[in-house]
Structure 1
């Protein structure tokens, strides 16, 4: 069982959402159409694959975790959209899958082997195609006043090794010029969409369980204790059981 198996039932509904305007903006920037094809690597429950679905023709999602693919399959059925789902690591994807006009990757690049991934992207991305490395996260510039304490509680309860891995993943995600240095690809432009919404107090607490470093699998018998700490911290920021959250959704466009 992979490290995200215990998060699959929560991930889709509790992670910071990608708003419709995000998908619309990226699709417009890349001039996507029903003639376009898309493959989403590390698709998880299919958030990017389904979000971009209305703007392209063929959609493929790839993930090594069966529980995540089951969640993506259910989400696609609810949305009445066809998505081809493949159980595989990105680096070992079959060579006969063809090329795509757009390749998307969410918060998964840091799990991938750099050299193998660069070779894969060279094969997957059509000559005039693009890669979009996407993320949606709570704004960390002070507008979410609850966030620092929230993350500190997560850090305190997370096994040190997993928290260090999460930190390395964040750095990898941000240092894309270094990742693509020496390859035929380079970051082109960044699409950013900011939105605000209200999130339920208990949903925000439960969100901690969707991260690999503080998943039920990682925390074991400490799940309830961590959740009590998180709820205690969040309560003073809530009103009528909800908390305001500003979300930043980004797509770093990468081209040859």
Structure 2
């Protein structure tokens, strides 16, 4: 398949919001609590959810801290985040902006949590900026999820192959870039530890389709008329692995905790 390269003003996630909310796997609540305990978070602390998307991290941490500020450059993501926060009954300050807009006007934070967004940032520059915003005993928290190589996840290879067939690689970030750990070890936040929580979940195939369409490289805005073809191919390829329209997913929610030495 061939694609036209996206322009520099291409709204990476504008067309993906509903698919993102429906399809991306949320982080394990047990992981959120473990990280909060690890950092001794209390109502005296402030937390930033940077690159917050629909605000899942901020919403999860909100009952455990005094204030949460969510920052994201995509207005439609912030609209979704605001709606989800209202449903959860938590009060969060949402700010339209990016890592380039961080500054002392935001105040100081015990922790800055970043989900699947750090790779979009100038990571070294962002860490230098955060050094001035995070309290002396605070932390940068990088959240991610991985799938262990277990029989329940056999379907995932086929899922990834379908997504790859439709991926516009001119939009994504360079795969050869250094891992986050390498950048952190050269930053002020060089004391690293990782916490993981493994869960088994039943996921509707429809949500896997949403997950594929939530990616900036295979969004409806990128695919256009090919969107229906992705839906058809994914439905066909997942059928042998599905039971009652669901697959079993074993997922490990991870938090990389970076603190000063």
TM-score range, shorter chain: over 0.9
CA-atom RMSD in angstroms:
1.7
Q: Tell me the residue number matched to 2:186.
A: 182
Alignment match, 2:136: 127
Say whether 1:211 aligns with 2:215. yes
**Is this contact kept in 1: 2:103–2:129, CA < 8 A?**
no
Q: Give unmatched runs, 5+ long, in structure 2.
A: 1-9
Q: Work out whether residues 4 and 212 of structure 1, in 8 Å CA contact, stay in contact via their aligned partners in 2.
A: yes
**What SS does structure 2 have at the residue aligned with 1:251?**
strand
> 1:22 aligns to what SS in structure 2?
helix
- For residues 166 and 229 of structure 1, the distance between their equivalents in structure 2, rounded to whole angstroms, comes to 27
Deviations, residues 168-217 of structure 1 (Å, cap 9, x unaligned): 5xx65xx2232124322214210100101101121212210111111111
2:230 aligned with 1:226: yes
Alignment of 1:86-101 (within 5 A): 86-101=95-110
| Unmatched tracts of structure 1, length 5 or more | none
1:46 counterpart residue number? 55
Match of 1:28 among 29, 37, 42: 37
Per-residue deviation, 1:27: 0.8
TM-score (norm 1): 0.92
* Mapping for residues 12-161 of structure 1, pairs under 5 Å: 12-140=21-149, 143-161=152-170
How far apart, in 2, do the equivalents of 1:142 and 1:42 lie?
33
Identify, as 1 or 2, the structure richer in helix.
1
SS at match of 2:60: helix
Count of aligned pairs: 251
Which residues of 2 match residues 159-170 of structure 1 at below 5 A? Answer: 159-162=168-171, 165=173, 167=175
Closer, same or farther: CA 44–166 of 1 in aligned 2, 3 Å:
farther
Query: 1:237 maps to what in 2?
Result: 241
Q: Does the 8 Å CA contact 1:166/1:213 hold for their aligned counterparts?
A: no
Equivalent residues of 1:187, 1:252 under 8 A apart: no
TM-score (norm 2): 0.91
Say if 1:139 and 1:13 are closer, same or farther in 2 by CA, change over 3 A. farther
Partner of 2:6: none
| Cα deviation code 1:15-40 (max 9, x no counterpart) | 11212111111111111111121001
In 1, Cα distance between the equivalents of 2:61 and 2:232?
A: 37
